[in-house]
Structure 1
Amino acid sequence: MAIAYLPVSSHRFKRSPFFACNDRPDTQYGIYNNRLYPISSGYDEQAHYQHLRNFCCLYDVPETPLLITGPDRYDFLNQLFTRDIRKIKIERAGYALACNHEGGVVMDGVLMRPNEEQLIYVQANGDFLNWANAQASDFDVTIQDFDSWVLQVQGPTALEVLEAVTGIEAVSLPYYAVTETTILGDSFYISRTGWTGERGFEIYSKGADFDGVALWQHLLEQGQRANLIASDISSMHIRRLEAGILDYGTDIDQSTNPFEIGFGHFVDFKKPNFNGKSALADTDHRSPRLLGLKSPDV
């Protein structure tokens, strides 16, 4: 299906601290969680895809991290999510699905536990924050958009950039690990995650009070030996499709349940009640399944 581009006022939406780095004359923007982000910046899509497969690319991505704190944070999140949140260890992350009472997927994303006091849910596109806050009245918990902005560095040489920029040895940060570090005097969260199926990591700010342009340029400078280039979402989308990574709103919505998309292993029926538990118990083993096909000739 072709993408339809419509003129809108960009002043209605949030701009990332990296906005100026992608604001080329031919850049086309999308809207995601009320954030304006570059879908296409006029780059050679095929060339950037090949670069992603062989070296690494830098992306300004619109995913929205939410901060969850408070004494009841684990009980609250175990009510929202289908997996047992307490099993995610400190300095680790885990994929987490939230369902409605009919078992439909309300949101998917990565839940990070960077330290003992905080959990961060990196949500996909949708009004998850208001939905979650509407269910928080019986819990001593706070869930908030803390104005965090995200960069991804993805590709086979991405971990060379990680080491150059942070001094963190790649072997000490395995897949789905989370840590905190300082770059150019500002503190950031780092996770060994991504949306491409390639090696990579993500950088999350702890607010918007930092120099995004300086960080962007610093990454490109320090990433020269790894052949890091700036790219846009178009090359990332091609690779995520190849990797079988699902996109909320495109492949998943509230009309699908976790079993239909092959994510039944993220549903833990052994834990106490959670949203959609009864409905999911009734649909298990009887739902249609979404499958991917791999052709060696295409």
Structure 2
Amino acid sequence: MAEGSTYPEPQGRDQGRLDTGIPHIARVYDYWLGGKDNYAVDREVAEKVIATGNPVTHNVRANRAFLGRAVHYLAAEAGIRQFLDLGTGLPSADNTHEVAQRVDPQARIVYADNDPIVLVHARALLTGSPSGATTYIHADVRDTEKILLEARSTLDFDQPIAVVMAGLMHCIPDEDDPAGLVATVLSEVVSGSYLALSQPAADINGLAMARTGAVMDRLMPAKITYRTRDQVARFFEGTELLEPGLVPAPSWRPAPGADTAPRSVWAGVGRKP
């Protein structure tokens, strides 16, 4: 298995083209997170969502903070040294490899996303420690066969792996069987592996989320699906949910004194028995 960081060129149907005239969810999120890797069309969508009164910036930051806490727990307390991060999005502070490799520089991380601008920034920013590995697969998360095949060149599937799906599943509509996608990935990892997953909620601040959904459906090329707690719980079937269970993101093992005001994001971590 190769050490360091590798970012192969996308091939075939995964070969992406950067179209700055069409909004992309990764770049819209980047704007909400205070980033600069976005374009006018992305900012237009982001601002129109903000104008609905939805505290969306708080939601996406709560989701990002959950990611950091979950990865730190998995590396520092659960002893996980391999991470498969699906739907990576644009690099921000405390990316999965940074959190995991602070605990153990030999941790190995594979990212997967299908936005060409994510690939560009992955090459520049998602650099891991010399003793570990950080790689990037340019693929749609629904192409599980490709992702799982390529991930095997970096990850040892005979050892536990943490599958990370933070802020991803709302990009997978029901007709694409999101629960089946999660189940397929989990079927390939061994007992003692984990799933860390978060999903924008339909039933927390529901009216604001409905207004947001209407804006996103009108302006975004890809369908966005918010889900209830019961619907998100289906993604964890076949795992044992860790305490405190499936909860609003700020309530998942918060730091002492942290703001735990409910945000419209369900989050949890499950262990494959």
Same-fold call, TM > 0.5?
Answer: no
In the superposition, the TM-score normalised over structure 2's length comes to 0.28
Higher relative contact order structure (alpha carbons within 8 Å, sequence separation ≥ 6): 1
Q: Which has the higher helix share?
A: 2
Q: Which has the higher strand share?
A: 1
In the superposition, the TM-score normalised over structure 1's length comes to 0.27
In our comparison, the structure showing a higher alpha carbon Rg is 1
